[in-house]
Amino acid sequence: MSNTKKMMSPQNGRVTTVLEIPDEVFSEKILGDGVAIIPTSDEIVSPVDGEIIQIAETGHAFCIRSDDGVEILIHVGVDTVSLKGRGFVSLVSVGQKVEAGEPIGTADIEMIKENGYPTHTAMLITNMGVIEDMEVHSGYAEAGKTVALSYSLK
């Protein structure tokens, strides 16, 4: 990939493909393509330098537009909207500029598990039309420090 860009893992945990997410909206790439993280910690960080463009009212999902125009959805857990915000804290606001590795929120991963929800975090590129090529970097990742996805723009 020429002119490769990098997207860091938004959480500590195991990076894998979206195919492992037990929800067809993510596994069938309906909202976009990217990676899944099986988180081992509660902190969520920005994977890129960019701007927060949307935050779910319940704090379980964030949308970020990277400085190079890629739109990224970070969705923590499967069906976690049903928790109605319990266990989630947003540390940012819409319109805020963020840097890769900067904390944007927390999710009580143990509480999510205890309530019977899968903890898979989806990190999806929602405007795939701008992407020429992308590669998933699977394995253990450290939030904000390990590349989870590399891509090149059209």
* Cα–Cα–Cα angle for 151, 74, 38, rounded to 5 degrees: 90
Given the residues 60, 75, 120, 137, the one annotated as active site: 75
Q: Which of 13, 122, 115, 130 is nearest to 71 (CA)?
A: 130
How many other CB atoms are found less than 10 A from the CB of residue 140? 12
The 10 Å Cβ neighbour count of residue 4 is 13
75 catalytic residue (yes or no): yes
| DSSP designation for 120 | P
Positions marked catalytic: 75
